Amino acid sequence: MAESLVIVESPAKAKTIEKFLGSKYKVVASQGHIRDLPKSQLGVDVEHGFAPKYIALRGRKDVLETIRKEAKKADKIYLATDPDREGEAISWHLAEVLKLDESSKCRIEFNEITATAVKGSFKKARPINMDLVDAQQARRVLDRLVGYKISPILWTKVRKGLSAGRVQSVATRIICDREQEINDFVPKEYWTITATLQAKKAFEAKFISLDKMKELTCKADADRVLSCIAGRPFVATEVKTGEKKRHAAPPFTTSSLQQEASRKLNFTAKKTMQIAQQLYEGVDIGRKGPVGLISYIRTDSVRISREAQAAALAYIAQEYGQDYVPEHPNFYRGRSNAQDAHEAIRPTDVHNDPKALKGSLSNDQFKLYKLIYDRFLASQMSECLLETTAVSFDVNGALFRSTGVRTLFPGFTAVYTEGRDEQGEKEVQLPLIREGDSFVPSAIHPEQKFTQPPARYTEATLVKTLEEKGIGRPSTYAPTISTIVDRGYVLREKKTLMPTELGFVVTSLMKDNFSNIVDVAFTADMEEKLDKVEEGQVPWQQVISEFYGPFEKELDAAGANIDKVKLPDPVSDVPCDKCGAMMVIKTGRFGKFLACPNFPTCRNTKPLVEKLDVKCPKCGGDIVKLKTKKGKNFYGCSRYPECDFVSWDKPVPGTCPNCGKMLVQRMGQNGPFVACSDKTCGYIRRAKKGKE
Q: Does some domain include residue 415?
A: yes
Domain match, 360 and 442 both: no
At 493 the pLDDT is 84
Amino acid at 216: L
What is the dihedral sign for C-alpha 361, 363, 369, 374? positive
Residues 297 and 266 in one domain: yes
pLDDT in tens, 57-92: 988 888 999 999 999 999 999 999 999 999 999 999
Same domain, 443 and 402: yes
Q: What is the pLDDT of residue 70?
A: 93
Domain boundary (416, 450, 484) is at 450
Residue range 286-300: mean pLDDT, rounded: 88
Residue where a domain stops, chosen among 397, 427, 450: 450
Per-residue confidence (pLDDT) for residue 689, from 0 to 100: 41
Backbone angles phi, psi at 61, to 5 degrees: -60, -45
Number of domains in the chain: 5
Same domain, 104 and 153: no
Which residue range(s) make up the domain with 663?
649-692
Asked whether residue 576 is assigned to any structural domain, the reply reads: no
Strands 591-595 and 605-607, bridge-based pairing: antiparallel
367 and 300 belong to one structural domain:
yes
270 domain-assigned:
yes
Do the domain assignments include residue 487? yes
Q: Is 295 helix (H, G, I), strand (E, B) or coil?
A: coil
| Other CB atoms within 10 Å distance of the CB of residue 38 | 13
CB–CB of 462/175 below 8 Å?
yes
Q: Please check whether residues 372 and 391 belong to one and the same domain.
A: no
For the chain, the straight-line distance linking the first and the last C-alpha, in angstroms and rounded, comes to: 52
Q: Which residues of 241-273 are buried (b: 16+ CB within 10 A; e: fewer)?
A: eeeeebebbbbbbbbbbbbbbbbbbebbbbbbb
- Residues 313, 283 within the same domain: yes
- What pLDDT score does 6 carry? 97
Catalytic: 296?
A: yes
Cα–Cα dist 427/417, whole Å? 13
Q: Answer yes or no: is pLDDT of 417 > 90.
A: no
How would you list the strands of the sheet with 610-615, edge to edge? Answer: 610-615, 622-627, 633-637, 646-647
Task: Say yes or no to pLDDT of 33 above 80.
Answer: yes
CA angle 425, 426, 427 (to 5 degrees): 125
- Helices vs. strands in the chain: H and E counts, helices first: 18, 30
| One domain, residues 241 and 390 | yes
Q: In this structure, which amino acid lies at residue 319?
A: E
More confident residue, 406 or 565: 406
Cβ neighbours around 647 below 10 Å, total: 17
Q: What are phi and psi of 198, to 5 degrees?
A: -125, 125
| Cα–Cα dist 625/182, whole Å | 35
CB under 8 Å to 308, separation ≥6 — which residues? Answer: 343, 346, 350
Mean pLDDT of 432-437: 95
524 contacts 470 by C-beta, under 8 angstroms? yes
Closest among 656, 637, 633, 659 to 646, alpha carbons compared: 637
> Whole-angstrom Cα distance, residue 31 to residue 8?
8
Binned at pLDDT 50, 70 and 90, residue 505 comes out as very high
Residue 297 has pLDDT above 50, yes or no: yes
- In this structure, the answer to whether residues 415 and 511 fall within a common structural domain is no
| Cα Rg, the chain, nearest whole Å | 31
3-state DSSP percent of the chain in helix, strand and coil, to 5: 35, 25, 40
Cβ–Cβ under 8 Å, residues 86 and 138:
no
Are 119 and 25 contained in the same domain?
Answer: yes
User: Looking at the structure, do residues 270 and 371 belong to the same domain, yes or no?
Assistant: yes
Residue 596 lies in a domain: no
According to the model, what pLDDT value does residue 423 have?
46
Give how far Cα 20 sits from Cα of 82, 290, 351, Å.
17, 10, 19
Phi-psi region of 290 (alpha: psi -120 to 50; beta: other; left: phi over 0): beta
Would you say residue 572 lies in a domain?
no
CATH of the domain at 421: 2.70.20.10
**pLDDT, tens digit, 9 for 90 and up, residues 595-628:** 999 998 999 998 877 888 899 998 888 898 887 7
Distance (Å, whole) CA 187 – CA 168 = 31
| CATH code, domain with 332 | 1.10.290.10
Smallest Cα–Cα separation from 505: which of 148, 158, 161? 158
Out of 328, 352, 379, a domain closes at: 379
CA distances, 333 to each of 53, 254, 256, 280, 340 (Å): 41, 16, 14, 24, 11
Average of per-residue pLDDT values in the chain = 91
Distance of CA 91 to the CA centre of its chain: 27
Determine, yes or no, domain membership for 637.
Answer: no
CATH code: domain of residue 486? 1.10.460.10
* Residue 339 predicted with pLDDT over 70: no
From 296, 369, 416, 635, active-site residue: 296
Question: Both 413 and 348 in a single domain?
Answer: no
626 inside domain: no
Q: What confidence tier does 691 reach under pLDDT thresholds 50, 70, 90? A: very low
